[in-house]
Amino acid sequence: MASGVFITGTDTNVGKTFFGSRFTHYLYKEGIHVAPCKPIESGCQIKKGFLFPADGAAYAAAINQADAWQHITPFRYAAVTSPARAATLSAQTLNLADVLNIIPQAGFRIIEGAGGLCSPLSHDALNIDLAVALNFPLLLIASDRLGCLNHCLLSLRSAAQQQLSVAGIVLNQTHAADTSGNNDLDNAAELAQYTDLPIWSLPYAANPNHISAAQENIFAAVWQRLTAC
């Protein structure tokens, strides 16, 4: 069984935290010692004098520790850009070793990267370099929309080049289903023609604070897959 998972995406704003925080909460409710960490977050707003990481706070809420965001996301930046650029704009140096030093050492680690595998993570590394250093199975998150096939296949190729294990792909439905009858997309079926990896379609959540039965079934399947890695 893997001791953790690295959550990466095909792009920014594809729902990594939406999936990751809810998956974390599912494991927490199942009584599993889970240790979430989103090491770096840019685009943070000032709240009560602190740079507040909304994504880090979502993970903190998932384990019912509202103040845990401070160690879940220790590197926080205001600039809405890559972490490496955000650190530069803050006159700070951020290296891969700094990130590795704050990764939890106990529990099932759920580590969320920043952007995609080839997005700059620090001044000396891309997200994929962090994934290699951790050596956890990857979960690839994609927004279930036109164009995601190319993004998924490019990400899988990058992972394969670094001999990274990919546990599966989550197609995140970030918007309500198109009921007009004009939506011909079936990304899951098309993607399955190019990979034997499990593909899960995570249903849209009108209430982001509620985990539906359909979502729980997917989380259970993902956990089963990870325990086999």
Determine what percent of the chain is predicted with pLDDT higher than 70: 96
Q: How far apart are CA 206 and CA 201, in angstroms?
A: 16
pLDDT per residue over 159-200, tens digit each? Answer: 999 999 999 999 998 776 654 455 678 999 999 999 999 999
CB atoms within 10 A of CB 75: 25
Give catalytic status of residue 48 as yes or no.
no
Please tell me which residue in 16, 38, 47, 48 is annotated as part of the active site: 38
Asked whether residue 205 carries a pLDDT value surpassing 80, the answer given is no
Give counts: helices (H), strands (E), the chain.
9, 12
Asked whether residue 7 carries a pLDDT value surpassing 70, the answer given is yes
Nearest alpha-carbon partner for 111 in 130, 125, 84 = 130
Q: What is the mean pLDDT of residues 52-74?
A: 97
Q: How far apart are CA 72 and CA 70, in angstroms?
A: 6
Asked whether residue 96 carries a pLDDT value surpassing 80, the answer given is yes
Domains of the chain: 4-227 (3.40.50.300)
pLDDT per residue over 116-128, tens digit each? Answer: 999 999 999 999 9
